[in-house]
Amino acid sequence: MSFPTHRPRRLRQSPAVRRLARENHLVPSQLVLPAFVREGIDEPRPITSMPGQRQHTLDSLRRAAADAAEAGIGGIMLFGVPAVRDAVGSGADDPDGILNVATAAVAEEVGDALVVQTDLCLDEFTDHGHCGVLAGDGSVDNDATLERYAAMGVAQARAGAQLLGLSGMMDGQVEAVREALDDAGFSETLILAYSAKYAGAFYGPFREAVDSQLSGDRRTYQMDPANAREGVREALLDVEEGADVVMVKPALPYLDVLADVRAAVDVPVWAYQVSGEYSMIEAAAQNGWIDRRAAITESLLGIRRAGADAILTYWAVEAAGWLREAL
């Protein structure tokens, strides 16, 4: 009988050997927690399509940020849900707007322990739900939107944001915000460009989380799910314009794009494990169809393996606890 010459199974024979041979590792500092704060509520409001997640009050957001810092994760990304919206998203750059007030509160609470991050987009603040200012024909006016993004970026930096997450997918948004920040004296404020953000089907629960007013879709500015090379092009353009970090969103359906972007750029590359990814695993686990902890851990490792230097995930704090247990 002929026996195998090569025996890769030797590297899998025990937990200790598997740990030693592991190619990719995940640590709490690579995780970022997205968090929602809603104006005008007295207590946290559960998000029904995202079990375990909630819209925070300012007080509960402070506590969530403190818990995140204690867990040792890398940062917290803030999304604001205003009580009043208008066509140009006036609340986005209002110093008294919910997102800017919340940013100041979180920066005061945990500014030295976490990277305080803010979503820079108009969709939560507009009464039409689009990520920019609308032209007369109902389309999104790219260049008029850039002016709003510039004002929003300065307002967020002034409120205490250390990193701005440019998620609107407008052409030239990184350059416009970078110039505005530098002119206003915020040259140290980081820019995260959502470079390859796809117009896919995995954002549904997020729409509830931010009480989206959107009708129609965002396919004229977010990317076509069929395109991979275009994602790399977008990332290269954003780096050229001054992005400190680039992002692929969603994560699991676009691991090929994530890997390609990681190979193409020399700045950190992040990925956003979006609401639909979260809710699918939670729903399957609630039905007893999968092992919840194992599925969460495997999904995060898959994103890391594809090249993400950090991951935005709603499981950030919980997963950090598991990672500490494994040490």
Catalytic residues: 197, 249
Six token digits for residue 182: 């530098």
Residue that has been written with the tokens 């794009």 in this structure:
257
Of the CA atoms within 13 Å of residue 111, those in its CB half-sphere come to 12
β-pair type (54-56, 190-197):
unpaired
Residue 198 DSSP SS3: strand
Residue-wise DSSP of 237-260: HHHHHT-SEEEEESSGGGHHHHHH
10 Å Cβ neighbour count for 191?
23
Say if CB 304 and CB 9 are below 8 A apart: no
Residues 62-99: b if buried by 16+ CB within 10 A, e if exposed: bebbeebbebbbbbbbbbbbbeebeebbbbbbbeebbb
In DSSP notation, 125-157 reads TBSS--SS-B-TTSSB-HHHHHHHHHHHHHHHH
- Within 13 Å, how many C-alpha atoms sit on residue 56's CB side? 23
Dump the DSSP string for 301-320. HHHHHHT-SEEE-TTHHHHH
Q: How far apart are CA 39 and CA 195, in angstroms?
A: 29
The helix-helix angle for 292-306 and 275-286 (nearest 10°) equals 150
DSSP characters over 149-169 = HHHHHHHHHHHT-SEEEE-S-
Tally helices (H) and strands (E) across the chain.
Answer: 11, 10
